[in-house]
């Protein structure tokens, strides 16, 4: 093998005129010039690899940073927050000495290229984020969005994504307790595969990604490093090698859930024995990210010998090793005296572990290869001081016309027969239909702590067997609402997730978000992003639920066509005793159905306007956050005090969708009466926010009414749990058998 | 006195802690066993729990079957030690030839997680004596390689000797021969099934039913009365 | 009638967790000296009529678009003589 001289720091200083392929690696000219300015010389190939990948949109948040700051600036006072934005995941105090960490991330682009592996490695990545905080992962959720349900490519993407999430998550032993599945043709070439994970630990077990204490060892453990996900770095490699190499490095990473399961157990055992000073998972940007973040968050510098990294492919160049995104790897900082024990634990779990470097008392990140120094940088300039863009944004010219196209003016059903037909059409439409064909491919039961799982309003996990302490998590997002008005749409996503958590009886505590948008270089998209972030930050401030972390996914667009702006919001809640949880299913015949909140004529962005008229226009429902807070308080109190036996939040599809779901899940029907002041159509289909339907045992009716009255929450008796059909008095009757057939038949018919 | 019941953890085992909890809730003492253990720590019975041992790569249970702990386990099971294999544990027991037949991928090719109705066909094994024959129970099922198959002769033998311990009711969720959900060996001390009784031991949790608890009370009574 | 065999393997640079797990189990079972294991799929296609160039080209297309996921897998196509079953 003949090769050109190693591009060391010395070599770089001596050869200032060597041209490097910075543009091919995605850097802009001024960004490259800044690298040269920071270093005071041209970068080596390895340094260029690190800067280019760490300064990418994905790792540096360069387009979104200026807006995301609002989550910190507007963060409400909240005693529960233990670790905030900036770490691998936020951490919240849930009482009794427990801390909970949770986060939602996107794996959109990889899942379109290779649905199974893209989705699988998405789960793997978020789970490692949670482990890296010191927590045992206890559940996952998956908010998913695909193109039109009947589009041929959806049949390629969706089953692969679902099998990948199941194949990976099931094999890790993590119950899948929630998420969403939404179809809309705007996601045709850009499916959204978001994955969330919850982890639990004791307060004293919180770990952070920092390398402190000169002399401490840096240990890389987990899978060997291969050429995964480094399309870009191959360009550099071809500059330094003249002989033949594998022609193309795989852009697709393959996940190994078995390896990840071992990584979880081995890491938790090392935590239990207090062997770890700092820890970081290897995700996007692999070692470049892990070493520069650990070093820049710690007190000293770091020296790494790249030759010691265990490789799967011995032809990898140092640049490729630094950029590789091979899965199932982690990096720990361990005191010298504890290294042997750490390695022993890794060996017990058959996990490969290698000391690759140590913390120094300097402030540089130095990386060596074949004896030469190939990286010598201030790690902060790599990890934290990337470019920041104030991208131009402007309200799109079409926004006014879109909002003027009022959905409230669409033709409404003229007869009871037509109303009934539209109900059937709605509950059988892909977005409103049962997703059990999908969710039954996920394990809900493993770990033996699942209290609620989809299709409940939020997933709920018991975290203490003795006291019954539990946490709930709901994720929501409505791209149609956000397209009509991104500010309101983001607030509605938060309001719905907040409401979903409260509906199950848990108190909403904190927020994570996954912001899925088109190209930030389009001022219209950037406006949507700015508005959504502003809306979400304002609403979090008002509801007292801080954003603890999250993820931004941009460039979700095909050509000029961007996806609907899709902020997905996850709300975490806590419940003192899971025995008090409230399920969606109707429990007992004879219980009284109450509609909580105000129903207005609000059809903009509604499921009805989509299913019946294929229409998107007008304004989304109004947001009243004070009302949301009041509704949540009532739902939590009613659940705690045993005043309600089932509850369901009202969102897309409106009241009829909620009642049909509760009836089918409970196997018990309902008789409904249209309340005074409302027409049947608005009663059934309106999507006004801040509402829920609850079933109240007759013995609790007075107490429940008194509570709502005293607190000023409108509570309207709308019917009773009864029989084996859903009956709307004076309008129509639909048997549960017929409803079940249409509600549960749609998805298998399209996808099985 | 109580009974000590071992739960083996292989790399990739998932339900080991859940199974220990179920044993505890039944009133017995769970004992953690490690796949590299060369002895069984004098336990009175062993449960091989669910999961994806070694990722279920090659074949489900195929690699775990050769773990060090399996040597004493196979020997003692043949001598009468009560052994229960749940899901992956069942697959390991068939790979180890302690139980007949094998598991193929589900006939619909998907992982399936559901609350499954079963009929207890044999209430005389070490693990089923707290049920009554013919009793209908609901136990969660969750697997991708759950289709029980055996040759005709084996099936005939299992049927005629009453060794089909559990049968799927209402829905055959994976295409198993004769709707078989679980089988026993000739002596009735070794039982394997695909559904997960350890996930049906507490009200509120999972499906909220406790139909799986009798597995663990059956063995406890047998051991304590022995 | 002829048989065409399509072998599908993960590309060499792609991680093969299955092969790796098998390889790691080998020393425990006393099989030494095997440094790598990769696991693939073999398809046997029974072809009606002659296996001429056109037929092979069609099978190549079939393998490329359906049997293999060329994002992560390579495949080979070869003709296998079918021995008459001896009764």
Q: How many domains does chain C have?
A: 1
Mean pLDDT of C49-76: 90
| Largest CA-CA distance found in chain C, in angstroms, rounded | 48
What backbone torsions phi and psi does residue A30 show, to the nearest 5 degrees? -70, -30
* C15 compared with B73, residue with greater pLDDT: B73
The one catalytic residue in A107, A207, A564, A615 is A107
**CB atoms near residue A26 (< 10 Å):** 14
CB contacts, 8 Å: C20 with chain B: 57
Positions in chain A whose pLDDT score sits under 50: 1-2, 237-248
Cα dihedral sign for A222, A226, A228, A233?
A: positive
What does the alpha-carbon distance between residue B220 and residue B130 come to, in Å, rounded to a whole number? 10
Instruction: Write down the pLDDT at residue A244.
Output: 39
Q: What is the pTM of this model?
A: 0.93
Instruction: Write down the pLDDT at residue A235.
Output: 53
Residue A641 marked ligand-binding? no
CB contacts, 8 Å: B207 with chain A: 445
Whether C19 maps to a domain, the answer reads no
Nearest to B12 among A258, A444, A445 (CB): A258
Whether C71 maps to a domain, the answer reads yes
Instruction: Write down the pLDDT at residue A231.
Output: 58
Instruction: Write down the pLDDT at residue C86.
Output: 44
CB contact under 8 Å between B55 and A256, yes or no, is yes
Domains in chain B, start-ordered, CATH in brackets?
4-225 (3.40.50.880)
Q: Which residues contact A579 (CB under 8 A, 6 or more apart)?
A: A468, B204
What does the alpha-carbon distance between residue A427 and residue A435 come to, in Å, rounded to a whole number? 12
Q: To which H or E segment does residue A59 belong?
A: helix A57-60
Whether C64 maps to a domain, the answer reads yes
SS3 A229: coil
SS3 A271: helix
Query: The domain spanning residue C72 has which CATH number?
Result: 3.30.1280.10
pLDDT for residue C84 is more than 60:
no
What does the alpha-carbon distance between residue B191 and residue A592 come to, in Å, rounded to a whole number? 47
The answer to whether residue B196 neighbours chain A at the CB level (below 8 Å) is yes
Q: Per-residue pLDDT tens for B91-124?
A: 999 999 999 999 999 999 899 999 999 999 999 9
Q: Which residues contact A406 (CB under 8 A, 6 or more apart)?
A: A604, A617, A618, A619
Mean pLDDT of C2-31: 88
Burial bucket for residue C64 (CB in 10 Å: 0-12, 13-18, 19+): middle
Looking at residue C27, the DSSP 8-state letter turns out to be G
Instruction: Write down the pLDDT at residue A87.
Output: 72
What does the alpha-carbon distance between residue A20 and residue A41 come to, in Å, rounded to a whole number? 13
Mutate to test the interface with B, among C21, C31, C38, C39 (most CBs of B within 10 A): C21
The answer to whether residue A446 neighbours chain B at the CB level (below 8 Å) is yes
CB contact under 8 Å between C15 and A350, yes or no, is no
Cα A361 from chain centroid (whole Å): 38
**Nearest C-alpha neighbor of A55 from the set A84, A35, A38:** A35
CB contacts, 8 Å: A173 with chain B: 14-15, 51
Whether C28 maps to a domain, the answer reads no
Tokens of A586: 């109707």
CATH number of A9-63+207-383: 3.90.650.10
CB contacts, 8 Å: C25 with chain B: 54, 58, 63, 66
Whether C48 maps to a domain, the answer reads yes
B28/chain C closest Cα distance in angstroms: 33
Tokens of A12: 């770089």
Instruction: Write down the pLDDT at residue A230.
Output: 75
**CB atoms near residue B203 (< 10 Å):** 10
Instruction: Write down the pLDDT at residue A415.
Output: 97
Query: Does a cis peptide bond (omega within 30 degrees of 0) precede residue B87?
Result: no
Instruction: Compare all CA atoms of chain B with the CA of A176 and give the residue at the minimum distance.
Output: B113
Instruction: Write down the pLDDT at residue A239.
Output: 42
CB contacts, 8 Å: B58 with chain C: 18, 21-22, 25, 39
Residue A313 marked ligand-binding? no
Instruction: Say if residues B200 and B138 touch (Cβ distance below 8 Å).
Output: yes
What does the alpha-carbon distance between residue B33 and residue A467 come to, in Å, rounded to a whole number? 28
The answer to whether residue A317 neighbours chain C at the CB level (below 8 Å) is no
Q: Which domain holds residue C62?
A: 2-14+40-80
Whether C30 maps to a domain, the answer reads no
Residue A281 marked ligand-binding? yes
Tell me the pLDDT band of C25, cut-offs 50, 70 and 90: confident
Tokens of A128: 């490692």
Instruction: Compare all CA atoms of chain C with the CA of B12 and give the residue at the minimum distance.
Output: C21
Mean pLDDT of C38-43: 92
Q: Is A207 a catalytic residue?
A: no
pLDDT for residue C87 is more than 70:
no
What does the alpha-carbon distance between residue B56 and residue B60 come to, in Å, rounded to a whole number? 4
What does the alpha-carbon distance between residue A289 and residue A386 come to, in Å, rounded to a whole number? 13
Positions in chain B whose pLDDT score sits under 70: 1
**CB atoms near residue B153 (< 10 Å):** 9
Q: How many helices (H) and strands (E) does chain C have?
A: 2, 3
Q: Which chains have 3+ CB pairs within 8 A of C?
A: A, B
The residues spanned by each domain of chain A are: 9-63+207-383
What does the alpha-carbon distance between residue A458 and residue A475 come to, in Å, rounded to a whole number? 8
Instruction: Write down the pLDDT at residue A670.
Output: 98
């Amino acid at each position: 093998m003949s090769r050109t001289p190693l591009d060391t720091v010395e070599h770089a200083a001596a050869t200032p005129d060597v041209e490097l392929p910075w543009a091919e690696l995605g850097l802009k000219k001024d960004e490259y010039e800044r690298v040269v300015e920071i270093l005071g010389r041209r970068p080596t190939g390895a340094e260029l690899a690190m800067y280019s990948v760490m300064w990418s949109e994905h790792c540096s948040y360069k387009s979104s940073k200026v807006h995301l700051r609002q989550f910190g600036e507007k963060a409400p006072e909240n005693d529960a927050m233990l670790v905030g934005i900036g770490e691998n995941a936020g951490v919240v105090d849930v009482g009794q000495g427990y801390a909970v960490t949770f986060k939602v991330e996107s794996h959109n682009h990889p899942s379109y290229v290779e649905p199974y592996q893209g989705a699988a490695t998405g789960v793997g990545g978020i789970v490692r984020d949670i482990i890296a905080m010191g927590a045992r992962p206890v559940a996952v959720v998956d908010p998913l969005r695909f193109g039109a349900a009947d589009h041929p490519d959806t049949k390629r993407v969706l089953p692969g994504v679902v099998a990948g999430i199941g194949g990976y998550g099931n094999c890790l032993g993590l119950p899948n307790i929630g998420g969403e599945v939404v179809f809309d043709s705007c996601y045709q070439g850009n499916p959204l595969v978001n994955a969330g994970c919850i982890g639990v630990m004791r307060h004293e077990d919180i770990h952070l990604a920092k390398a402190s204490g000169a002399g401490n060892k840096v240990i890389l453990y987990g899978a060997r490093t291969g050429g995964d996900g480094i399309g870009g770095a191959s360009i550099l490699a071809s500059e330094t090698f003249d002989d033949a190499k594998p022609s193309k490095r795989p852009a697709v990473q393959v996940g190994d859930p078995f390896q990840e399961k071992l990584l979880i157990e081995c890491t938790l055992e090392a935590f239990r024995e207090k062997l770890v000073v700092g820890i970081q998972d290897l995700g996007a940007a692999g070692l470049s990210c892990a070493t520069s973040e650990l070093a820049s968050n710690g007190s000293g510098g770091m020296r790494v010998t790249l030759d010691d990294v265990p490789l799967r492919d011995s032809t990898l160049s140092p640049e490729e090793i630094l950029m590789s995104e091979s899965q199932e790897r982690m990096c720990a900082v361990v005191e010298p005296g504890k290294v042997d024990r750490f390695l022993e634990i890794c060996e017990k779990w058959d996990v490969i572990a290698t000391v690759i470097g140590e913390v120094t008392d300097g402030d540089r990140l130095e990386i060596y290869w074949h004896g030469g120094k190939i990286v010598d940088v201030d790690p902060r300039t790599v990890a934290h001081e990337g470019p920041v863009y104030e991208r131009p944004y402007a309200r799109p010219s079409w926004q006014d016309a879109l909002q003027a196209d009022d959905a409230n003016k669409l033709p409404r059903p003229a007869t009871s027969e037509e109303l009934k037909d539209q109900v059937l059409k709605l509950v059988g439409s892909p977005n409103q239909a049962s997703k059990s064909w999908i969710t039954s491919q996920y394990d809900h039961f493993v770990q033996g702590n699942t209290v609620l799982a989809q299709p409940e309003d939020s997933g709920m996990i018991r975290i203490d067997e003795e006291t019954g302490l539990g946490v709930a998590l709901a994720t929501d997002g409505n791209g149609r609402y956000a397209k009509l008005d991104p500010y309101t749409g983001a607030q509605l996503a938060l309001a719905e997730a907040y409401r979903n958590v409260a509906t199950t009886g848990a108190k909403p505590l904190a927020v994570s978000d996954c912001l899925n948008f088109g190209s930030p270089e389009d001022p219209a998209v950037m406006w949507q992003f700015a508005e959504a972030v502003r809306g979400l930050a304002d609403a979090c401030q008002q509801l007292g639920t801080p954003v603890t972390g999250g993820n931004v996914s941009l460039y979700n667009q095909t050509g000029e066509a961007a996806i609907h702006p899709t902020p997905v919001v996850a709300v975490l809640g806590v419940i003192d005793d899971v025995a008090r949880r409230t399920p969606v299913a109707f429990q007992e015949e004879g219980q009284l159905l109450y509609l909580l909140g105000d129903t207005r004529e609000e059809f903009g962005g509604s499921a009805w306007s989509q299913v019946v008229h294929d229409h998107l226009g007008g304004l989304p429902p109004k947001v009243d956050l004070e009302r949301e807070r009041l509704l949540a308080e009532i739902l939590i109190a009613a659940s705690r005090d045993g005043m309600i036996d089932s509850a369901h939040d009202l969102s897309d599809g409106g009241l009829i969708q909620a009642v049909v779901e509760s009836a089918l899940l409970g196997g018990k029907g309902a008789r409904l009466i249209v309340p005074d002041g409302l027409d049947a159509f608005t009663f059934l289909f309106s999507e006004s926010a801040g509402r829920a339907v609850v079933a109240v045992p007759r013995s609790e009716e007075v107490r429940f009414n008194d509570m709502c009255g005293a607190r000023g929450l409108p509570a309207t008796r709308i019917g009773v749990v009864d029989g084996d059909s859903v009956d709307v008095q004076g309008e129509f009757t639909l048997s549960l058998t017929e409803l079940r057939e249409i509600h549960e038949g749609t998805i298998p018919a399209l996808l099985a | 006195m109580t009974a000590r019941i071992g739960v083996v953890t292989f790399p990739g085992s998932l339900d080991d802690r859940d199974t220990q909890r179920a044993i505890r809730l039944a009133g017995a003492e769970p004992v953690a066993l490690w796949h590299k253990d060369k002895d069984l720590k004098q336990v009175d019975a062993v449960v091989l729990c669910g999961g994806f041992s070694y990722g279920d790569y090659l074949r489900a249970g195929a690699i775990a079957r050769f773990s060090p702990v399996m040597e004493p386990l196979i020997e003692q099971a043949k001598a009468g030690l009560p052994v229960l294999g749940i899901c992956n544990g069942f697959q390991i027991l068939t790979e180890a030839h302690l139980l007949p037949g094998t598991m193929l991928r589900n006939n619909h090719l998907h992982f399936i997680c559901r609350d499954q109705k079963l009929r207890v066909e044999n209430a005389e094994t070490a693990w089923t004596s707290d049920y009554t024959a013919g009793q209908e129970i609901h136990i969660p099922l969750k697997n991708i390689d759950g289709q029980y198959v055996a040759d005709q002769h084996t099936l005939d033998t299992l049927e005629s000797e009453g060794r089909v311990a559990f049968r799927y009711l209402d829905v055959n969720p994976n295409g198993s021969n004769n709707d078989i959900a679980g089988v026993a060996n000739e002596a009735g001390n070794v039982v394997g099934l695909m559904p997960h009784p350890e996930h049906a031991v507490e009200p509120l949790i999972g499906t909220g039913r406790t139909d799986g608890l009798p597995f663990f009370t059956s063995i406890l009574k047998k051991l304590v009365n022995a | 009638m002829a048989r065409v065999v399509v072998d599908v393997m993960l590309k060499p640079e792609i991680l093969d967790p299955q092969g790796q797990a098998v390889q790691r189990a080998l020393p425990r079972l006393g099989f030494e000296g095997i440094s790598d294991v990769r696991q693939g799929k073999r398809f046997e296609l029974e072809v009606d009529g002659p296996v001429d160039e056109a037929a092979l080209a069609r099978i190549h297309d079939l393998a490329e678009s359906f049997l293999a996921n060329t994002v992560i897998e390579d495949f080979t196509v070869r003709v296998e003589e079918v021995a008459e079953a001896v009764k």
